Structure 1
């Protein structure tokens, strides 16, 4: 029997070894030689590279284990990480509008690009031009634990570790075979998620080597807001009194409407007082009437996804082999394919300027032509280059003398429902391989680690359902008889944009444009680390000095290639995305010291000082960048340790920060000079001062979203941050199994890279606020570019080192493990309790030296984005007895207030949320186990908002649970 088992293991080992070598002869990962006897000097805590005799750390660390991943029933790790109090959600499975197909983690709400993601202590290859990591490319089945280190870590790990470090530790010593599968769905049977993982591992060569092969698959089905129904199926606005909701939505509606372009012109409508604010709504029969923003908006909600569909495949191979005692080679290969789809409402023509045939237009009634004739101008006027599809200088003429201009110019808003929804199909391939050699150095009681890593993430994005602005313009200009296009090239078909459902199938096909984009992010990363202590040479009275030093080289290159229409902005429903290409190299050297100061004295069990420094020489930067860490731990006695850490951290400009050309976006931002902005007397005067005609102030028809132009800046400098933490850990000897930590944190970022003015909303608030008061010479007012009719064309924003960010608060962790018998109860198993709490009392963004600081602690809205609750709590309670276990998780989010004191909305406050998750474990045998549970047991309501909603749903779907009660079942077979 033993011989059969042995032979099986040899076969398993050989097959897995083939699996390791096939995807990458090369794929190599950092390993700890678990086969060797445990040695205290081999313990390395995330946040430092110095081996130390215990697991204490001078930096706060929160940990998520493999058991917690299983008990939560999640297959996307970001969904669990985002429940940690230290995190503010980034892109998740419920983010539709604003998703780029990736999944991110965002510590302290400082941005996912300021959170460094590691796998086994080494950098994960980024995916986007901003340098962020897609968590989809890390295989969940192989995660042993996740360490979250708060505060700066640049001196130890380099750039990006401003808010902290998230380190995924993989199962690099797995032995046996494990198959797991999972399924989840809402209690309405919606939004199912399927997953399956197969992991095989074996030791070989008398346990000198280990190989692991893991295969993973998961599929996430789509759910739209319309399918969910209820209030989510409607886009809501605020009534005039701001006391309730009214159906609202986009001013780019299905019938379509047109506004005057030429200054001083207006639409003439029977029985309606002439005004430049009048907007003509097209009727199905080709006539027009006055547009009403209260009743004629478009409900874009039903088509949007509540859960974005995904399909993911992963293959990961790990190997390590002891070449001889004290010398071990290791390898990792990882390949992941992640496909994510987002869907938005049909493409909007939003405040786009077009010239269109009037006099001989067969799609318009005689009455409509008369009403729209007043849009024309016999005086020359210029359409700016921002409307490139029709830019130029024009004079409208009446060639047949019938009193109607042949062609006029208007600003159109129209929902092109005849074309279909806008769909983005993201397809990412991530490939990373690693090769390394670790060994002992007896002379320093330590060892070395030499490694090389190559990573590449390749992504394609196919955009469906969009249209060409140039082709719409071509199709709007008709020949002399009105029977065809004036320019018939490319098979032009006249377009009837005047009324719901009037665009013919042939015209829809003509204006459609299939857009594609491809991107490549390549990273080469190599280095060496040496750590040890001074014991063989000398020791201080408190012990030897621990040290670590090393050097690293990193080259990163990004190439984004969009199709022509996307690059040029010849699209209606998606933002223009010009090509981006760039690279940088960095040479780095670092050193760490762990100096024992005192030991075994009264009130000083130990007192240690940690010092670290790093020099980073980036191509394109005139001088090397220096970072450092000064930290200390004071163990007063065995139960109590005090700790503090002060860091200077950096974030070097990403490739997109440096090289991205100008491109447009459409953030939620309301023009203060518009009817929607409802300007008071002071704002009205500021609008007039800036150059907006007094006749249209307060009357301009504006959308909730405002176009922006933003891009990179090759002269950017690295951001700098000073981070400080101070706290304690307490493990009372009189209460076995209990521990508590508390840490104050303070992070200040200067020279932060940000768009000029911070956001479109802030630029407008400053321009029309009391400080600038509409001064046309102010860069804030000059950044707001308006059309002749007074409406905003775009706001110019460019990346600069102008912002500063500050956040501070308190983290508390309490853990207690015991048995019921110790509590004086029957011997019915054991209990484990853990609670993580964060109090963020300050989160302030100062866009630049002139802007008023934006305080975002306890806030949500158009200026702050995702809510930042002051109090966040995650508490878990686990009971186990024999082969059974019950797990409860309570997540608490404090209430938050709207961030714009100048505006009033129906919902000024989102109340506190409490999410209860419950699951049960049943270990049927040593080989078979089940976990079943329910998330959001009490069906905590999702917040519905009006004018201050995020654009993707009626609230903030990354922060608040939009799916409701969800059931899951996981099964695991192992031998």
Structure 2
């Protein structure tokens, strides 16, 4: 149904509205389809043989003597899953950086790191920098920590440790054998759980989709039209089994423990000080010394419950109804060739997410304690989880999101006046939009009792905007020496949002197209664009996240930062003066913060400058070359306040040191102790906090030429094209309040800069056309990138920047992918096509800094060689 695709680069909000902050892709559909056409395609990857099926069926007809046309197009797609375990060549292990055993080639999947003596580096000690197989410290046999290490001042506890075989106990805690009959100190990474194999590398998907387009000429000048859409997408995600690692209460006489370990737990109970409150989901309990309850952090991976599964079903409905036509001219020289377009659209999406194999925190805690003198339901020491335990603690959860959007627009286009160089074209109009969304989690998710998936609160909200817009195209000069034509263009849009953080906002653009001759033309444009916050960013429900952070007002703050200036801010933000820098301010390094929407958000704003040249030489009439420079800046990027909890604390106390700042105002403390804990929780809501800047050059070329050779007789032709981008700059400013803190990311990848940002990347294609057969070779290029752990601090001039040689595999090599394909017209009704993507089967570069599967799967090819074959039939 697609007739052509148009790509508009640069900020285009003046023409298209909010969200067109970096450009627009327009799909122009056919409006005259007749007959029946079906298209079938099968894709299969070589490493796993996993199929993807895709079938299209389109039928259309003209009616009323050609005054109308209606077409219905259906699609069915079935994509099977691929797990990380099925791609053991790069994705199976959970890799981490480390010092590997000599001779391992820098990749030791045995999980035994090379020991580095004190005062030496890995290489000086004879090891190799590389990857180690590791994973999560929450393991199937359980890891129990958060207790004093052996060798401390508590002699009775030390004796109990020794009797239980834990005399070497350290900060990692202890674990059990499979039977749960013996304990030993836990070690890393050998004991860690491999998170990789259970996770999907490619998620399964099933999609049904129907589109219908129709129009009818009410008269010679007026046309009514309609678009209808329905799709049902079902996509599943799978993750490693649920883990819980939190402070947990145990009976000191737990019957599943050996007598020696029961004595350990008894000594831990006796060593408790004060009243300790333990929160497990919706349940809260307290413990004191000698009450028969020991507090231990229990970290366990509940593999018996099975992998976590999330099945998302999304139904989308959309309808558009409009009328367009010609209304003639007021005169030949003013307001001529006038056309109008009026339409209304209504869209609705219903998204249901079903979560399986999660755990209830409160049920788990209850199942670990004796009830009425009976043995606890769950034995989590070793591999002793029973079906009764699974039934007691396993839960599912469901959330539902419903979103709607309505749009009404009217526009008038034509020629305003006749100028010497041509008519002045214009377009004016108005638009109204309303977007609404409702998020409804079930009781487990909204209460925070679920473990395995993020909790969240219900929310709803809407955004309404009224807009007026206009465009002009002004011919200035034509048919003069050095100016074949000179045309100026401009556009504006005024948007009035019902949001206090935005209100009324202008977007606009202006540009010039200068055609020197038929051989060469120049173009340039400036655009101001915006992206208004969406409903989720504005009204998203609060999610409470418990994470590791250091409170600058506590005894855990570095001694050098415990200054008089920090003390003053601590007191001003609610810490009692006698408590500042004391142990009671923040008893632990894990405390909560609320993340979520902020109804006062403003719009992101961008400025785009583009300058380009186009060559279309007459000596090569089918050659086109363009070179365009782009420079884009974006301010007010929407993200969590300060970049997160720790950054917000640092900005408040160590950088700004202003109790009235937004960062300090986000910190809530207990008036008694100064502690950040329920119900006094940090509020890290969304904010217009950051900025981005990027610049570079786009190169594009097209060439078609005929040759006298054709193996099937006659002549043939070649089509050649290339699109290459040089990225000169990509700079992020995490907090605009501190413009001197910048991350220079061009040519890098990693946890700070994100997806690889190579300086060079491009796609080229050569197609050989031979009568009814076409053969095509495509080359995809992704340039080399270097870890931002080295790039960012080095470019910032930091004295603590690491040496490149001290980082395992610091660069990802340039990637070259070659794809081949063919297209054969068997006759005028049958077309067969096929090919192979990534012919050489290149594996993605392996790195521990990627977000998934030991690589950057959104940038690099993770499928290996992929074969596809299909056919189109026309009736």
TM tier relative to shorter chain: 0.7 to 0.9
Residues 78-115 of structure 1: per-residue CA shift (max 9 Å, x gap) = xxxxxxxxxxxxxxxxxxxxxxxxxxxxxxxxxxxxxx
Would you say 1:745 and 2:623 are equivalent positions?
Answer: no
Structure 2 residue aligned with 1:348, among 243, 246, 259?
243
1:940 matched to 2:819? no
**Greater relative contact order: 1 or 2 (C-alpha under 8 angstroms, separation 6 or more)?**
1
> What residue is the counterpart of 1:477 in the other structure?
369
1:778–1:619 CA distance, 2 compared to 1 (3 A): closer
Structure-2 separation of matches of 1:567 and 1:502:
31
- 1:609 corresponds to 2:488: yes
Q: Which runs of 5+ in 2 are unaligned?
A: 100-121, 123-127, 330-335, 567-578, 791-800
Matched, 1:330 2:330: no
For residues 317-367 of structure 1, give each alpha carbon's deviation from its aligned partner in whole angstroms, at most 9, with x where no partner exists.
110111111111111111011111110010111x3222222x221121122
Q: Of 508, 517, 520, which residue of structure 2 is paired with 1:628?
A: 508
2:132 to 233, 246, 253: 246
Structure 1 segment 726-875 matched on structure 2, within 5 A: 726-758=611-643, 779=663, 797-821=684-708, 828-848=715-735, 849-850=737-738, 852-875=741-764
Q: 2:144 aligns with which of 243, 250, 258?
A: 258
**Aligned residue number for residue 644 of structure 1:** 524
Paired residues of 1:754 and 1:847 also in contact (CA < 8 A):
no
- Partners in 1 of 2:310 and 2:560 — Cα distance? 40
Question: Does the 8 A contact of 1:920 with 1:933 survive in 2?
Answer: yes
State the distance in 2 between where 1:375 and 1:839 align: 61
**C-alpha separation in 1, matches of 2:93 and 2:846:** 10
Q: Deviations over 1:782-813 (max 9, x none)?
A: 97999x9x999999632111211111111111
Answer whether contact 2:282 2:448 (CA < 8 A) is retained. Answer: no
Give the length in aligned residue pairs: 786
The verdict on how the C-alpha distance between 1:144 and 1:380 changes in structure 2, with shifts beyond 3 A counting, is farther
- Describe the shift of the 1:958–1:449 C-alpha distance in structure 2 as closer, same or farther (beyond 3 A): same
Selected match of 1:585 from 441, 464, 468: 464
The alpha-carbon deviation at position 230 of structure 1 amounts to: 2.7
Matches within 5 A, 1:183-582: 183-240=42-99, 241=122, 243-260=129-146, 269-270=161-162, 277-284=171-178, 285-349=180-244, 351-357=245-251, 359-376=252-269, 377-383=271-277, 388-391=281-284, 393-398=286-291, 406-443=292-329, 444-479=336-371, 481-484=373-376, 494-499=377-382, 501-534=383-416, 538-582=417-461
Change (3 A) 1:724 1:571: same
**1:631–1:643 contact (8 Å) kept in structure 2:** yes
CA contact (8 A) 1:260 1:276 kept: no
Q: Is the 8 A contact 2:281 2:361 kept in 1?
A: no
8 Å contact kept, 1:886–1:919: yes
Q: Over residues 133-157 of structure 1, what are the superposed CA-to-partner deviations in whole Å (9 max), with x where a residue is unaligned?
A: xxxxxxxxx3333322211111111
Change beyond 3 A, Cα 1:639–1:446: farther
Displacement of 1:919 in angstroms is 0.5
The CA distance in 1 between the partners of 2:873 and 2:433, in whole Å, is: 41
2:596 paired residue number: 711
CA gap 1:479/1:189 in 2 versus in 1, 3 angstroms = closer
User: C-alpha deviations, 1:120-143, integer Å up to 9, x for none?
Assistant: xxxxxxxxxxxxxxxxxxxxxx33
**Are the equivalent residues in 2 in contact too, given 1:286–1:368 (CA < 8 A)?**
no
Which ranges in structure 1 are unaligned for 5 or more consecutive residues? 1-141, 399-405, 485-493, 674-681
Q: Deviations over 1:624-648 (max 9, x none)?
A: 1111111111111122111111111
Distance change in 2, residues 1:286/1:265 (3 Å): farther
Query: Aligned-pair distance for 1:456?
Result: 0.5
**1:186–1:783 distance in 2 versus 1, CA, 3 Å:** farther
- For 1:954 and 1:693, the matched residues in 2 are separated by 41
Q: How far is the alpha carbon of 1:238 from its aligned partner? A: 1.8
Return the alpha-carbon distance in structure 2 between the equivalents of residues 805 and 383 of structure 1.
44
Superposition deviation, residue 905 in structure 1: 4.1
Which structure: larger Rg? 2
CA distance in 1, matches of 2:47, 2:477: 62
Find the counterpart in structure 2 of residue 35 from structure 1. Answer: none
Question: C-alpha deviations, 1:696-716, integer Å up to 9, x for none?
Answer: xxxx999xxx99752111111
Deviation (angstroms), 1:580 = 2.0
* CA displacement at 1:577 relative to structure 2: 2.5
Please report how far the alpha carbon of residue 927 of structure 1 lies from its aligned counterpart in structure 2 after TM superposition: 0.6
CA contact (8 A) 1:553 1:587 kept: yes
2:775 matches 1:886: yes
Distance 1:665 1:646, change over 3 A: farther
TM-score (norm 1): 0.75
Given the superposition, is the C-alpha separation of residues 425 and 278 from structure 1 closer, same or farther in structure 2, using an over 3 Å criterion? closer
**Contact preservation (8 Å) 1:191, 1:307:** no
Q: How many angstroms does 1:424 deviate by? A: 0.7
Which of 597, 600, 606 is the aligned partner of 1:721?
A: 606
Structure 2 counterpart of 1:598: 477
Corresponding position of 1:964: 864
SS at match of 1:917: strand
Distance in 2, Cα, partners of 1:707 & 1:212:
55
Of 902, 909, 915 in structure 1, the residue corresponding to residue 811 of structure 2 is: 909
Q: 2: CA distance between counterparts of 1:570 and 1:479?
A: 21
**CA–CA distance in 2 between the matches of 1:566 and 1:917?**
45
Q: Structure 1 or 2: larger strand share?
A: 2
The equivalent of 2:797 in structure 1 is: none
Could you tell me whether the CA contact under 8 Å between 1:632 and 1:644 is conserved in 2? yes
Task: Within 5 Å, give how 1:682-721 maps onto structure 2.
Answer: 709-721=594-606
Q: Secondary structure at the match of 1:472?
A: helix
Verify the 8 A CA contact 1:249 1:297 in the aligned structure 2.
Answer: yes
List aligned pairs for 1:112-131, cutoff 5 A. Answer: none
Q: Deviations over 1:718-738 (max 9, x none)?
A: 111111111112211111111
SS of residue in 1 equivalent to 2:445: helix
Q: Which moved more, 1:339-348 or 1:844-853?
A: 844-853
Q: TM-score, normalised by structure 2?
A: 0.83
Higher mean displacement: 656-665 or 516-525: 656-665
